[in-house]
Amino acid sequence: MTKARDLMTAGAECVGENETLVDAARKMRDLDVGALPICGEDNRLKGMLTDRDIVVSCIAEGGDPATALAGQFGQGKPVTIGADDSIEEAMQTMSKHQVRRLPVIDGHDLVGMLAQADVARAMSEQQTGDTVQDISQ
């Protein structure tokens, strides 16, 4: 059985909950990613921040990304997948919550990120198509 840890990108970097959105945007640029996990002072996952959050929820609303903090945008409990969970479970989680990226946790520790593209490369064309369709509804 293929597990999330087998396909994830290990060593995911967080943006701290007290870092500004400008800092987060620079980190996204430097890492060439569109989303970052938000981690608290306790190194626990607090949420996810996307480039879209920065633009739509901050800038378009007249906010200042130089003073807005990443932690303000980690709404609710983050959707995650366990490192030893199956890829099928990851696909179901992505579909259910309509997300394209999942933080992968081992216990309470963030160990990686699993993207829709990671899953797509490991599944059949039919499974991939079904998952992409479900996530994109």
CATH number of the domain where residue 39 is located: 3.10.580.10
| 51-59 long-range contacts, CB within 8 A, separation 24+ | 51/25, 54/21, 54/24, 54/25, 58/21
**Cα–Cα separations (whole angstroms), residue 124 to 82, 104, 120, 131:** 22, 22, 8, 11
Range of the domain at 107: 4-135
**What 3-state DSSP class applies to 100?**
coil
Q: Report phi then psi at 37, rounded to 5.
A: -70, 145
More confident residue, 121 or 50: 50
pLDDT tops 80 at residue 123? no
pLDDT tops 70 at residue 26? yes
From 103, 95, 97, 96, select the one nearest 120 (Cα to Cα).
Answer: 95
- How many CB atoms are closer than 10 A to CB 91? 23
Number of domains in the chain: 1
Query: Considering the chain, what is the average pLDDT of its residues?
Result: 88
50-100: pLDDT as tens digits:
999 999 999 999 999 999 999 998 766 789 999 999 988 998 999 899 888
Measure the CA–CA gap between 45 and 84, rounded to whole angstroms: 18
Give the predicted TM-score (pTM) of the model.
0.81
pLDDT tops 60 at residue 132? no
pLDDT-based confidence at 107, cuts 50/70/90?
A: confident
pLDDT-based confidence at 41, cuts 50/70/90?
A: confident
The arithmetic mean of pLDDT across residues 7-28, rounded, is 94
